[in-house]
Structure 1
Amino acid sequence: MTKNLQELRALLDEWAREAEVPGIAVGVLQDGEESVLATGVSSVDAPTPVDGDTLFMVGSTSKTFTAAAVLVLVEDGLLNLDEPVVTYLPDLPLADPTARATVTLRHLLTHTGGFLGDVDLDNGWDSDGLAEAVAGFGDLPQVFPTGEVFSYSNSGFVLAGRVLEVVSGTSYEDLVRTRLLEPLGMTDSHFLPWDVLTRHHTVGHTLVPGGTPVVAHTLGLPRSVAAAGGLWSSARDQLRWARFFLLGESTGAAPLGERARTALWEPQRRAALPYEQVALSWLRTRYGDAELVRHGGNVSNLQVSEFVTLPDQRFAVTVLTNSRGGGVVGPRVVDWCLENLAGVPPIPAAPVLPRTPEQLADYTGRYETGGLAFDFTAREDALWARMLVISDPDNSPPAFEVAFVAEDVVARAADTRRATGGFVRDARGRVTAVEFGGRTARRQEVAPA
């Protein structure tokens, strides 16, 4: 593996420059052996070299720790995945009475709670921030019936985090630290900024016109969403998580028994594209014939990460970056590692199915889910997509062309190897929703200008 990793090291420098990513850390676990590579700096304002112990925000990979913490309390006999959440939170505020009476932790951990999943929660950094956030959940609309539709839900994991606090009698952060991080030897993983600031950490960067990275003077997430995306961690600590997840190894007493540990990645139901199935927080996709169990995160386009495993081969790769360009570099590193280290054959490009302007009109319009919108517009004979943060459209990624690779299924036109989204039709054949970025978004009446 050493020779291959030397090749990857050179590519990492090149890809970081191309994508304007100031700093990258990569960790690989293969055959029980760990390897760490790093390039660049933690901040363009105060450039300190990134290494395997540098802390990055891992974003939504935090959800996998929330799910594991739930199973810790299940093993303790304090929680049941299929018991209604209202059993543990008698004052649970949900707008829909049926959802309030029936939503379970299994629904929350599989993104099927049905209430609005992308919401702006900022309750500061007080210890009761999570409780205050959940107290406002009565204002969240019930978009789908509980248990019927997968739509990626940050708010569902916020609620799961609050259940953990109430049942354990301690803060979410302390529970995860004492029951997961410390037994696994993950001493460089933290949730609170005052724990991070005294350690070597990165800062997030925005890209100004021309692609130049500039330090963003914000963390990007408040404490109230810690259970959905607030963990800071290093490449080495992420490999400790991979080692336990895949091999069951820990420096202290194993935080979960074998049955519970493996239950985390067992498929629960179909997911929304680009994912194929969801486990307990973990997302499952295919790379050709290989089955991947994965996560990753994006913290306000400031820090972007990947965490991908091949359980059958006990192989894992994690990629941590500190700018929006990590959304390009991360998948490139993962693909390279799968093909050159794990020996997974490359995925061939899918043939493009032509569509007429009349056919494209079937799909154009705006699709919304909470604070996110997906705009689809027709340009000549092509369909273009753009994901918008409704409250901050200027900080949203640019539009890109998509191509049809199957009936109602699209991929990026520049890379048709993977489906990225799919349109949903009702019983009358009308396009009423889109699965994109793991979200299921409803079509609005008015098309974007």
Structure 2
Amino acid sequence: MPRSLGELQSSLDRWAQEAGVPGAVVGVLHDGEESVAATGVSSVDAPLPVDGDTLFMVGSTTKTFTAAAVLALVEDGLLDLDAPVVEYLPDLVLADPAARSRVTSRHLLTHTGGFLGDVDIETGWGSDALAAAVAALADLPQVFPVGEVFSYSNSGFMLAGRVAEVVSGQLYEDLVRTRLLEPLGMDDSLFLPWEVFTRRHSVGHAFRDGSPVVAHTPGLPRSAAAAGGLWSSARDQLRWARFFLLGETKGTAPFGEAARNALFEPQRPAASPFEQVGLSWLRTRHGDAELVRHGGNVSNIQVSEFVTLPAERFAVTVLTNSAGGSALGPRVVDWCLEHLVGVPPVPAAPALPRPDLAEYTGTYATGDLAFEFTARDGGLWLRLVVTGELGDLPPAAEVVFVADDVVARAADTSKRAARFVRDSTGRVTAVEYGGRTAYRADA
């Protein structure tokens, strides 16, 4: 292990304890060489050490597999990204008939379908789970016109997964396995719990009285497989990175270089904190460095990061088994960028004078998520509210303005937290946070 990664190991042990993460593993790919560092255990109830082959839920990084499966079908000539989805799913019903006639696979893969995105649709664990969930999309309101607003959408990727099922004639999980996982040698990447639970795997943890406790749930229903249901290991995630960065596969490539590059290429602007979106892949800047990334949060009990720096043929994946991964993951990524690639830290931004806080206070909601901004002690405070959340949520945090209508957490102004959106009259009516675009309740 290179000396710098040896330093990461000792820091990882300490940082995981500070963040309340029972177990975590980091995988690094740089110029074709792979390294893994791990710490802690897979479960506080039945502790086994985690390693590079331990399975974790990668959450929304699964969306990159869904997009890749769709692109494989495009390359096969079976699917047109810009054809209305209804051409492939004639029985599709959406709340807005105009949206039903217009929405395309490209809209779905770029989070611009416009119907409500943050919902849980429980349809059991049978092979019809995804089809039944898509039938339930008829109950979701059309929040934005198709194609006009980026707002992170789990339901959009469920619909994209169902399109792939119908076009390929395979269940979603089987399509991803045969077209992507097997050719890439990703033998430790699985979807179904009864397959995962026979392998060395990590369970998710919630917090009770300040200590991690096992959450006795997989965290997501089968209907959400295409949005976030993949279990994988750090070593398998590095195989995924190797394919995209280097074009290397164990077997026949799932698709050609043009389709591989198309997944990364920017399609349109995204919502804060992201800058652009490709086909599922999210693009951000870290100083002068251009990152292509994803990551995921499974019901706040398993949290992951997946970050690439294509210019340096570099990737890092961080898999964790508690909500503390939300702090640990970015810390590891920033360390790796600085010490392994030489990308300097982003400096803290100076806080600007406070504007009239009354312009910004209120609750901004999108499905099961809400962002509450309140004025307190002369400052603006942000609290996240999630319906039915399994793990503990972070406490309210003070935010400060670092640009016009842009706030960062007062504790770390190097990273923008949210951007407020105004209507044509200049009134604040929405906020972009975590890639979501949420309307203010009184808008």
Q: TM-score band (shorter)?
A: over 0.9
Aligned-partner Cα distance in 2 for 1:420–1:264:
26
1:418 maps to 415
Offset, 1:52? 0.2
Aligned-partner Cα distance in 1 for 2:198–2:275:
40
1:282 maps to 281
On the 8 A contact 2:323/2:392 being kept in 1, the answer is no
What do residues 203-240 of structure 1 show as CA deviations (whole Å, max 9, x unaligned)?
0000112x210000001101000000000000000000
SS at match of 2:71: helix
SS at match of 2:166: helix
Aligned-partner Cα distance in 2 for 1:423–1:390:
23
On the 8 A contact 2:54/2:201 being kept in 1, the answer is yes
On the 8 A contact 2:206/2:390 being kept in 1, the answer is no
Please give the TM-score of this superposition, normalised by the length of structure 1. Answer: 0.97
2:426 maps to 429
Structure 2 residue 399 is matched with structure 1 residue 402: yes
Aligned-partner Cα distance in 2 for 1:394–1:327:
12
Structure 2 residue 115 is matched with structure 1 residue 115: yes
1:8 maps to 8
Out of 366, 370, 379, the position equivalent to 1:369 is: 366
SS at match of 1:376: strand
SS at match of 1:224: helix
Offset, 1:391? 4.1
Aligned-partner Cα distance in 2 for 1:137–1:396:
28
1:243 maps to 242
1:128 maps to 128
Change over 3 Å in CA distance of 1:394–1:382 after alignment to 2: farther
SS at match of 2:216: coil
1:23 maps to 23
On the 8 A contact 2:292/2:307 being kept in 1, the answer is yes
1:155 maps to 155
SS at match of 2:29: strand
Change over 3 Å in CA distance of 1:43–1:120 after alignment to 2: same
Stretch of structure 1 that moved more, 371-380 or 173-182: 371-380
Same amino acid, percent of matched pairs: 75
Matching of residues 128-277 of structure 1 within 5 Å: 128-209=128-209, 211-277=210-276
Runs of 5+ consecutive residues of structure 1 not aligned to the other structure: none
Offset, 1:395? 4.1
Amino acid across the alignment from 2:52: G
Q: How many residue pairs end up in the alignment?
A: 443
Amino acid across the alignment from 1:377: T
Amino acid across the alignment from 2:70: V
Offset, 1:403? 0.9
Aligned-partner Cα distance in 2 for 1:393–1:192:
20
Change over 3 Å in CA distance of 1:296–1:6 after alignment to 2: same
On the 8 A contact 1:25/1:321 being kept in 2, the answer is yes
Offset, 1:264? 0.5
On the 8 A contact 1:388/1:397 being kept in 2, the answer is no
SS at match of 2:359: coil
Aligned-partner Cα distance in 2 for 1:280–1:240:
19
Aligned-partner Cα distance in 1 for 2:199–2:108:
33
Runs of 4+ deviating beyond 2 Å: 390-397
Offset, 1:392? 4.6
Please give the TM-score of this superposition, normalised by the length of structure 2. Answer: 0.99
Offset, 1:427? 1.0
Aligned-partner Cα distance in 1 for 2:350–2:389:
35
SS at match of 1:65: helix
Offset, 1:393? 9.5
Stretch of structure 1 that moved more, 345-354 or 48-57: 345-354
Aligned-partner Cα distance in 1 for 2:402–2:288:
18
What is the alpha-carbon root mean square deviation over aligned residues? Answer: 1.1
SS at match of 2:44: coil
On the 8 A contact 2:300/2:391 being kept in 1, the answer is no
Aligned-partner Cα distance in 2 for 1:420–1:64:
24
